[in-house]
Amino acid sequence: MIESRKIEISCGQIKLEGIFEFPEGVDDRPPVALALHPHPLYGGNMLNNVTSKLASGLLKIGIATLRFNFRGVGGSGGKHGEGTAEMDDVKAALGFIDRYDGVDSSNIILAGYSFGCWVGLKAALVDERPMRLVGVSPPLDIYDFSFLTDEMRPKLLIAGDRDFVCSQKKFQELAENVPEPKRIVLLPAVDHFHFGTEQKVVDSVVEFLRLYPLNSLM
């Protein structure tokens, strides 16, 4: 049975609520994925359909997962910080993983969806701890992702061809400008919310990790 623990992450003067889950039947310290949810002002939280499905899919292949609510969401303290303060939340969560004895903190995957994609990947720009980067439905029509053109870690970018905040033109431009190693996936007949197609995201991430395996995983 998957073990699930409710945790608190200290971030400055506030606490962030989270869920740390551990794969069944894994005795050694597993690699860990930090899964980041979509925009808090539009109902995004750690129980979001994409974030939850991604976590459960990674648990099945032996990866522990940490999800948390950004500041001002659910039981997390503070208030929405326009993405800037949320980058501190991401760094605090990475620090929590670093200090946690039950996982392999040298093998961290950072996976963000929508707003969580922008915040997470931008935070990773100045934080070397994540070894693999996953961006699901990057809202390219709203936020600037040009910082990824200098990102040399293995990275996966996933979008649907019907995404209303990630135009195919901008997605293709980013895909061309992001350096190797990379994997780019455009999902047919999929919109920004992925309702009913969440497994396609999971399958894409699993395939990415087969192509660019973590030392302790495959």
- Domain assignment of residue 10, given as a range: 3-211
User: What residues are paired with 7 via a beta bridge?
Assistant: 18
pTM for the full model? 0.96
CB 23 within 8 A of CB 60: yes
Number of structural domains found in the chain: 1
Instruction: State the Cα–Cα distance between residues 156 and 154, nearest whole angstrom.
Output: 7
Of the pLDDT bands very low, low, confident and very high (cuts 50, 70, 90), residue 11 is very high
Reported as a single tens digit per residue, the pLDDT across 185-195 is 999 999 999 99
Report residue 191 as tokens.
């919109």
Residue 176 lies in a domain: yes
Residue 217 lies in a domain: no
Of the pLDDT bands very low, low, confident and very high (cuts 50, 70, 90), residue 28 is confident
- 24-33, 49-58, 157-166: which range is least confident on average? 24-33
Residue 92 lies in a domain: yes
**CATH no. for residue 85?**
3.40.50.1820
Residue 218 lies in a domain: no
Residue 204 lies in a domain: yes
CB 76 within 8 A of CB 14: yes
Per DSSP, the three-state class of 33 is: strand
DSSP state, residue 143: S
Find, among 214, 210, 183, 186, the residue nearest to 200 by Cα: 186
**pLDDT at residue number 15:** 98
Residue 216 lies in a domain: no
